[in-house]
A and B are shown apart, each in its own frame.
Chain A
Amino acid sequence: MRIQPLGDTALLAELSTRLDTAINTRAIALATALKKRRDVRQAIAGYASVTVHFDPEQATHDSLGAAIKRLAAKRPPMAEPGRLHRIPVTYDGPDIAEVGERLQLSREKIIEIHSRPIYRVFLVGFVPGWAYLGPLPDELVLPRREIPRTQVPAGSVAIAARQSGIYPLPTPGGWHLIGRTSVKLFLPDSDPPCLFRAGDRVKFFSAQS
């Protein structure tokens, strides 16, 4: 594990550089344990890391780094399976034809592959309501678009590298848009304001079938 300063009141603990469900489970468990400490203001689990904001009156990078190593060495508690969300998708995104051409797949095949797995919510972040879902089946892996769009409509279902995601708000974006959903991911008047939480599971299904 690499633990390094992220400014004078935070640090980044990197558990691994791999996209892996077991490592992500450890990262979430470590963040949960760290949030209970009085010297920790906030702990955010990434794919395979934890970003820890601490109270500099109560902790230093060194003291907290040592505590993180002790916590990480413990066996994490058995993670409960996250909630399962079933998300209807209309697979008519503006990039589905191009994705099919580049991967030599028919539209039907893309739908079948994309809606086959139960995805894991690795982390929630970027913009309010966004969740990084994965792993995407290898057959659909493509790098991000060369030129990102300046505006992606809310509800767009997208893929990039080994990930899938849904744009919760109209934002710029560089992922391939393969469909859209009417499910609202950002719920500003709920607490927490995001439908998905880290560790949840997501199953897509074709809304036309």
Chain B
Amino acid sequence: MDRFAHSAANLLVGNDPGLATLECTLTGPTLIAEHACLVAITGADFDPRVNGAPAPAWTSLFLAPGDRLSFAGRREGARTCIAVAGGFEADRWLGSLSTNLMAARGGMHGRPLRAGDSLAVAGDVRKTLGAGRRVPEQLRPAYSDHTLHAIAGPHLKRLDPDSRALLFQASYKLSSNSDRIGYRLEGPRLAVTGEELLSFGLVAGAVQVPHSGQPILLMADHQTAGGYPVVATVVSASLPIAAQLLPGDELRLEVITVESAQKMRRARAASLETIRSAET
């Protein structure tokens, strides 16, 4: 879900940004190192610990055999990300290492991890990096600011003028009926006009408005096609922020231009490049 945290965690331990990491929602696991390894924790803050002592997030950490990585409890955000040098071993399905629970494929045999699982390191560790590499605060997404930037969607004109104004002014709350497929947003009802659309290909970040008038923000596991009007699309630089929202959190959509969105995307890419090239 949080691609920035995923890429940053990989880069901190010297991996390519696309290797498999662990995504932990709301609570973190307890992991015991069977071999010495370099790990990094990014994304949400679940108060990481090594052998019970507080350990820094957004920093590469060395674990000796027998060391215990655990999490004391959620402090901010929804999903924390754990990377290991060499990447976690995972099933590849349709070109991806991520887990698809509906199809029961990818990742750890298509299922969530459970107590007793043994996680292997996928590859040779190409670069030997030291512990203590850190992502400075100013390069991390500002997770506490729940303003999601969005570009006007292809069907924005299907909202009546009042609803169009509301979409970018009102505050919306994430419903408890939200998951990796999409977030249902609770707030002012939006009025859609016109005939039903023919189904078309969708993207993560799309804000759909079904007949109920309550918008849905599509996330990482979104359906590939749909026919509800897309009135806005949350930009790629804001998706990591969205990924860290929880049911009950308030958010606001702020409309920006395509050019501003490109600038924000380049800034995120530059942050990752800084992490990649940083010396210990």
Enumerate chain A interface residues (CB-CB to B < 8 A).
2, 4-10, 12, 14, 17-19, 44-51, 53, 56, 60-61, 123, 125-128, 132, 161, 169, 186, 188, 191, 193
List residues of chain B with CB within 8 A of the CB of A161. Answer: 196
B235 within 8 A of A: yes
Q: CB-CB < 8 A to A125: which residues of B?
A: 199, 201, 223-225
| Complex contacts, A7 vs chain B, CB 8 Å | 151, 203, 205-206, 233-236, 261
Interface string of B203-238 (1 = CB under 8 A from A): 101100000000000000001111000100111110
Query: B200 — which chain A residues lie within 8 A by C-beta?
Result: 12, 14, 46-47, 49, 51
Give chain A nearest CB distance to B70 CB in angstroms. Answer: 34
B265 at the interface (CB under 8 A from A): yes
The chain A residue with its CB closest to the CB of B94 is A193
What B residues does A61 contact at CB under 8 A?
258
User: Would A14 and B154 be within 8 Å (CB), given that A46-B199, A47-B200, A51-B200 are in contact?
Assistant: yes
Instruction: Assess A127 versus B233: contact at CB under 8 Å? Given A7-B203, A49-B201, A186-B103.
Output: no
A44 CA to B199 CA, complexed, in Å:
11
B5 to chain A minimum Cβ distance, whole angstroms, is 19
Say how far A29's CB is from chain B's closest CB, in angstroms: 15
Q: How many residues of B contact A (CB 8 A)?
A: 36
B122 within 8 A of A: no
State whether B103 touches A128 (Cβ < 8 A).
Answer: yes
Contacts of B195 in A (CB 8 A): 17
List, in ascending order, chain B residues with CB within 8 A of A50's CB.
201
Closest beta carbon of chain A to B99's beta carbon, Å = 13
B201 in contact with A126 (CB, 8 Å): no
Closest CB in chain A relative to B144 CB, distance in Å: 23
B contact set with A: CB distance below 8 Å = 93-94, 102-105, 151-154, 195-203, 205-206, 223-226, 230, 233-237, 258, 261-262, 264-265
Contact B154 A4 (CB under 8 A): yes
Knowing A7-B233, A123-B199, A125-B199, the reply to whether A46 touches B151 (Cβ < 8 A) is: no
Instruction: Supply 5 A–B pairs (Cβ within 8 Å), ascending by A.
Output: A7-B206, A44-B224, A50-B201, A51-B201, A126-B199
In whole angstroms, what is the CA distance A161 to B195 when docked?
12
Cβ contacts under 8 Å, B225 to chain A:
44, 46, 123, 125-126, 132
How many Å lie between the Cα of A169 and that of B264 in the bound state?
A: 39
Q: In the bound complex, do residue B203 and residue A53 qualify as a contact, i.e. CB atoms below 8 Å apart?
A: yes
B258 contact set on A, CB distance < 8 A: 5, 8, 61
Q: Across the interface, which residues of A come within 8 angstroms of B233, CB to CB?
A: 5-7, 10
Query: Considering the chains assembled together, what is the distance between the CA atoms of A7 and B151 in angstroms?
Result: 6
Q: Which of B105, B198, B203 contacts A49 (CB 8 A)?
A: B198
B198 touches A46 (CB 8 A): yes
Decide: A126 near B226, CB < 8 A? Known: A8-B262, A53-B203, A188-B103.
yes
Query: Is A19 in contact with B198, judged by CB distance below 8 angstroms?
Result: yes
Q: Please name all residues of chain A whose beta carbon is closer than 8 Å to the beta carbon of B202 when the two chains form the complex.
A: 51
Q: Is A6 touching B199 in the complex (CB atoms < 8 A)?
A: no
Using Cβ atoms and an 8 Å threshold, which residues of chain A touch B261?
7-8
B103 touches A8 (CB 8 A): no
CA distance A126 to B226 in the complex (A): 6
- A170: nearest chain-B partner, CB-CB: B102
A10 CA / B234 CA spacing, docked (Å): 12
Across the interface, which residues of B come within 8 angstroms of A4, CB to CB?
Answer: 153-154
- The distance from the CB of B237 to the nearest CB of chain A, in whole angstroms, is 8
- Complex contacts, B154 vs chain A, CB 8 Å: 2, 4-6, 12, 14
Known: A2-B154, A8-B258. 12 other contacts (CB 8 A): A5-B152, A5-B233, A6-B154, A7-B206, A10-B203, A46-B201, A47-B200, A51-B202, A123-B225, A125-B223, A188-B105, A193-B94
Q: Is the CB of A8 within 8 A of B201?
A: no
Tell me if B102 and A169 are in contact (CB < 8 A): yes
Q: Roughly how many angstroms separate A19 CA and B197 CA in the complex, as a whole number?
A: 10
Q: A126-B226, A127-B223, A188-B105 are in contact. Are A5 and B151 (CB under 8 A)?
A: yes
Residue on B nearest A129 in the bound complex, by CB? B103
